[in-house]
Amino acid sequence: MFQDLRHAVRSYLRTPGFTAVAVMTLALGVGGATAIFSVVDGILLRPLPYADASRIVRVARISATGTTDGAFSAGDFLDVKREAPSLVHVAGYREDISDVTGTGEPVRVPGVQTTAAFFEAFQVTPLVGRVYTAGDEGRGALAVISEGLWERQFGRRDDIVGTEIRVNGTPTEIVGVVPESVRHPIEADLWTLAPGEVPTSPIPSDGLADREVQYFAALARLAQGVTASDANAQLRALGERLGQQFPDTNRGESFHVRPLADSLVSDVRAGLLVLLGAVACVLLIACANVAGLMLARSLVRRRELAVRASLGASRWQLARQLMIESLVLAVAGGAAGIVLAVWGVDLLVALAPEGLPRLADVQLDWRVAATASLATTVVGLLAGLAPALQSSRPHLNEDLKDGGRTGTASRTRFRSGLVVAEVAVALVLLVGAGLMVTSLFRLRSVDPGFRTTSLAAVELPIPQSRYAGPAQGRFYSEVLARLRAHPATAMSALVFPLPLRGSNASADIEVEGQPATERPAQRLAELNMVSAEFFQTMGLRLMRGRGFSATDVDGQPPVVIINERLAAEFGDTDPIGRRINLGSWVTIVGVVSDARRQSLEAAPKPAVYLPYGQFVLPFMSVVVRTEGSPAAVASVVKAAVRELDPDLPVETVRTIEEIIETSTGQPRFRATILLAFASLALMLAAVGVYGLMSFSVSQRTSEMGVRLALGASPRQVGALVMRQGLLLAAAGVGLGLALALAVGRVIAGMLFETSATDPRLYAGLGALLLTIAALACYVPARRAMRVDPMRALRSE
């Protein structure tokens, strides 16, 4: 056995070319598959790290228009909590900026304000102290911190429990520390207990009875023995009852639950599964390549195997030798693959778009590494073993005589089949990547409706506890005045929500003079709160009427500006001077050009702009048109804020181009990874074609010699090889095109303004693959052209 091992290692060292190609092929297949599967496993497949995690559900509201935006009003939440016995530990939560002071430097940490049952829904065991529970409801001023914050801010102090900190200025007691694994549904460092039965509202509302201001999310645990569909039936019935009871706010609305693990990843599931499919293709090509290489090697070695058999080696001894050789290769390839996988996982996490959920759960999956190594080993083993088992006694004589040059036709056909399959799968990947890249390119060329150059933005949320009511507007006005006084930020404006950051604010509207549409088909418009300079700063054009002025403030008649999309709904009537109802009646004073707000993909929707002087929120952002760098803008913004509130941290200033880059992160991630896999597949397929043709030429050296001796020109001999290789590649391209059409349908939903059956793309990539195949055939063809007939015939 040890001797076999030694011989195997030595034989690989003596054929470094073969060994390098085989090990790299294995490594790329195993490494790629392991890295991508680790990401998919961490994000999609692995259960959340909580006890009985499948029972944790997100509870969402289904709006009258059918969208499941999830946000709850206080009234609806309390009804669900009280009247849905299929749910226990129903908890509300909302993201909250949390400025923590009283621990040295003030720090802003990602925070969540939750109701009392939040940790019970997760059944979290704290590292230190306790978590707040239903029994603490109404107490407020209690906080649980993450292990990370405990470490960074408190140096893992033992006496952390009972420590008093100020969260957004409010004295708050830390009751416990939870482990890093607690990071769902929102990654946070600080959880604060809401002072009442629901999280505090960012805008004025009617308290616990309010059903119009929907501003927080909810989750719960399914009661023991209850399924999600049981709970959904109960919630539907509750929704219908509330619809009858409160027709103005609830007609047509309903509620539903969905496992939290599913709801976290619903946006990325399809994309990740496409990547998983892509990596499976690469693994398939790698397997085919390894099988082809092993087959070629074993054919070349038939004489050696025959000699061994004639010296007394039994079939088992021959098989064992080949198995050990395959294992040596698998171990080397697997080890290199795992190194690649470790890098690959790090690279994927680094490349991952902002907002990819559960990224922190991603880690190298050793089971996958082992399975992928095993798969390639078995394939290599079977391909290499078959000829050994076939070197049965009756053929030994022939094998000894001709060294395995005859009787190889069926195996060469098999290997040709492998190459056709490799080319086909490579084309499928190329087409997939081509479609994704085209789609990304088209997405990036979309005109968002505003000028993206020389535009910087920073989100400037303020804690409600310190800025209530009119103080919010005063703060933002002061900031704006300071920015406009500085030459670097002279053209500045306020806005909520910041375009392309995914935030949403919308309202049902009713147009004066038009019959009020019955719910649930009311007209939905995007809401934007802006300062007067917003349109000029962003580069939106005023089409009709006037912009906002300094006089559009509280106490004056409420006014709005609408976009062209909404203006179009007035038909031939001029919308200027008409009124719309957003809960209260407001007058339209202007029309501006359309702009995309939610994302580049989504076409502009009907939109309403409200002057922030009349409608302010504590989450405004600043946009600045500047020729200076973001850093210069940042220092001006920081100075302005520091003058007004030294305890208020300022977030990173980013250019709008960076924001667009982030907003297209997911399609870019998909396109980048697919392109990488497609390139890899192309390379492996080229190696496959080259390997086969090279082997074929070496097997047919004497035939080439005879042809040359009989008067064939070297060019004719070269053409013979090229023709053979290109015919195989063409068969692969044909098969690949058919497969790609089917795969195109699967990914069509992820494409932006790109046809999944674009004939130019298919033809172009088919031609590319044929060109690469031609290049791969050229080297063996050159070798065939240089065969010396004398030597070739003598070697026979």
Q: Which is nearer to another protein, 328 or 623 (CB)?
A: 328
Number of DSSP helices (H) and strands (E) in the chain, helices first: 24, 21
Phi, psi of 388 (to 5 degrees): -65, -45
Does 46 contact another protein by CB under 8 A? no
Question: Whole-number minimum distance, CB 393 to another protein, in Å?
Answer: 5
How far apart are alpha carbons 359 and 539 in whole angstroms? 36
Residues 400-419 binding another protein (CB under 8 A) are 400-401
Q: Which is nearer to another protein, 61 or 297 (CB)?
A: 297
* Contacting range for another protein; rule: CB under 8 A; set: 242-250, 307-315, 410-418, 742-750: 307-315
CB 85 within 8 A of CB 223: yes
User: Does residue 520 have a cis bond before it (omega within 30 degrees)?
Assistant: yes
How far apart are alpha carbons 623 and 500 in whole angstroms? 13
Does 716 contact another protein by CB under 8 A? no
* Contacting range for another protein; rule: CB under 8 A; set: 110-118, 304-312, 693-701, 763-771: 304-312
Q: Which two tokens stand for residue 595?
A: 């702009």
* Binding residue (CB under 8 A) for another protein from 7, 579, 605, 783: 7
Question: Whole-number minimum distance, CB 360 to another protein, in Å?
Answer: 50
Phi, psi of 495 (to 5 degrees): -155, 145
Question: Whole-number minimum distance, CB 758 to another protein, in Å?
Answer: 52
Q: Which is nearer to another protein, 317 or 629 (CB)?
A: 317
* Contacting range for another protein; rule: CB under 8 A; set: 66-74, 325-333, 397-405, 495-503: 397-405
Give the angle subtended at the CA of 564 by the CAs of 562 and 566, to the nearest 5°: 60
Question: Whole-number minimum distance, CB 302 to another protein, in Å?
Answer: 12
Q: Which is nearer to another protein, 266 or 310 (CB)?
A: 310
Does 393 contact another protein by CB under 8 A? yes
With tokens 């048109």, the residue in question is: 625
Contacts of 126 (CB under 8 A, 6+ apart): 144, 176, 177, 178
Question: Whole-number minimum distance, CB 317 to another protein, in Å?
Answer: 6
Q: Which residue, 294, 334, 301, 296, is CA-closest to 318?
A: 301
Q: Which is nearer to another protein, 4 or 262 (CB)?
A: 4
Does 350 contact another protein by CB under 8 A? no
Pairing of strands 254-259, 107-114: unpaired
The count of residues interacting with another protein (CB under 8 A) is 22
Does 304 contact another protein by CB under 8 A? yes
Site string for another protein, 310-349 (x = CB under 8 A): xxxxx--x--------------------------------
Q: Which is nearer to another protein, 10 or 760 (CB)?
A: 10
Question: Whole-number minimum distance, CB 304 to another protein, in Å?
Answer: 6
How far apart are alpha carbons 769 and 685 in whole angstroms? 9
**DSSP one-letter string for 601-640:** SSPP--EEEEETTTS--TT-EEEEE-SS-HHHHHHHHHHH
* Binding residue (CB under 8 A) for another protein from 307, 331, 335, 576: 307
Q: Which is nearer to another protein, 3 or 244 (CB)?
A: 3
Does 14 contact another protein by CB under 8 A? yes
Q: Which is nearer to another protein, 9 or 735 (CB)?
A: 9
CB 38 within 8 A of CB 368: yes
Phi, psi of 544 (to 5 degrees): -150, 160
Question: Whole-number minimum distance, CB 796 to another protein, in Å?
Answer: 12
Q: Which is nearer to another protein, 14 or 760 (CB)?
A: 14
Does 10 contact another protein by CB under 8 A? yes
Rg (CA), the chain: 34
Question: Whole-number minimum distance, CB 392 to another protein, in Å?
Answer: 9
Question: Whole-number minimum distance, CB 380 to another protein, in Å?
Answer: 19
Question: Whole-number minimum distance, CB 293 to another protein, in Å?
Answer: 17
Does 551 contact another protein by CB under 8 A? no
Environment class of 515 (CB within 10 Å of its CB; exposed 0-12, middle 13-18, buried 19+): exposed
Contacts of 700 (CB under 8 A, 6+ apart): 784
* Contacting range for another protein; rule: CB under 8 A; set: 31-39, 301-309, 378-386, 652-660: 301-309
Question: Whole-number minimum distance, CB 309 to another protein, in Å?
Answer: 8
Contacts of 112 (CB under 8 A, 6+ apart): 93, 94, 95, 96, 118, 186, 188, 190, 191, 192
Q: Which is nearer to another protein, 104 or 312 (CB)?
A: 312
Q: Which is nearer to another protein, 7 or 46 (CB)?
A: 7
Task: List Cα–Cα distances, 376 to 5, 31, 369, in angstroms.
Answer: 19, 12, 11
Residues 456-515 binding another protein (CB under 8 A) are none
- End-to-end CA distance of the chain: give it in Å, rounded: 35
Task: List Cα–Cα distances, 682 to 272, 452, 616, 668, 671, in angstroms.
Answer: 21, 37, 55, 20, 16
Does 397 contact another protein by CB under 8 A? yes
Question: Whole-number minimum distance, CB 684 to another protein, in Å?
Answer: 27
Instruction: Fill in the DSSP letter of residue 749.
Output: G
Question: Whole-number minimum distance, CB 699 to another protein, in Å?
Answer: 18
Q: Which residue, 667, 674, 685, 680, is CA-closest to 743?
A: 674
Say how many residues make up the chain.
Answer: 796
How far apart are alpha carbons 238 and 254 in whole angstroms? 8
* Contacting range for another protein; rule: CB under 8 A; set: 6-14, 100-108, 418-426, 776-784: 6-14
With tokens 């022939």, the residue in question is: 398
How far apart are alpha carbons 594 and 540 in whole angstroms? 8
Residues 685-714 binding another protein (CB under 8 A) are none
Question: Whole-number minimum distance, CB 679 to another protein, in Å?
Answer: 35
* Binding residue (CB under 8 A) for another protein from 5, 11, 342, 361: 11
Q: Which residue, 405, 416, 409, is CA-closest to 300?
A: 405
* Contacting range for another protein; rule: CB under 8 A; set: 2-10, 286-294, 354-362, 569-577: 2-10
Does 795 contact another protein by CB under 8 A? no
Does 760 contact another protein by CB under 8 A? no
Question: Whole-number minimum distance, CB 397 to another protein, in Å?
Answer: 5
Q: Which is nearer to another protein, 311 or 602 (CB)?
A: 311
* Contacting range for another protein; rule: CB under 8 A; set: 39-47, 254-262, 300-308, 662-670: 300-308
Q: Which two tokens stand for residue 634?
A: 């940042």
Q: Which residues make up the interface to another protein (CB under 8 A)?
A: 3, 7, 10-11, 14, 303-304, 307-314, 317, 393-394, 396-397, 400-401
